Amino acid sequence: MNKSEEIRKLATAMKERDEKPRPVVIVATLKKQGIAVSSPQVSMVLKRMGFRPRKRRKSGEVATVSKKVSKPVASRGAQMISVEELIVAKRVVNQLGGTDRALAAIAALKRFES
């Protein structure tokens, strides 16, 4: 029994079924067959076969919304806030260094408006 060959066979079969061969799935499937393999081992075999891992987002990057969401989210009062506005608010909070600093900045801004 060659573990790498078993991994390659399973990955090829998954690809033929239009499934993405993921190490977690392959490890679980081979475990049911009585073959013990590790996730890093599967990852290396898949990499050598030409399957590349998914690209990860950079820290602080917001995922793009595939559908245009226009359903507003209820807030404390009668005001309605959309999902897009929440995403923008999250970016601002991250730029200011957290919700406490963002709330302090909003409170200071409100004092200037009055």
**Greatest C-alpha distance within the chain:** 77
Report pLDDT for 66: 55
Report pLDDT for 53: 67
**What is d(CA 75, CA 54) in angstroms, rounded to the nearest whole number?**
36
Q: Which residue has the tokens 């009585």?
A: 34
Residue pLDDT, tens place only, 56-92? 777 766 655 555 555 555 545 557 888 888 888 888 8
Report pLDDT for 40: 92
Which sequence spans correspond to the domains of the chain? 3-49, 73-113
Q: Per 3-state DSSP, what percentage of the chain is helix, strand, and coil (rounded to 5)?
A: 55, 5, 40
Residue pLDDT, tens place only, 16-63? 998 888 899 999 999 999 999 999 999 999 999 888 766 777 776 665
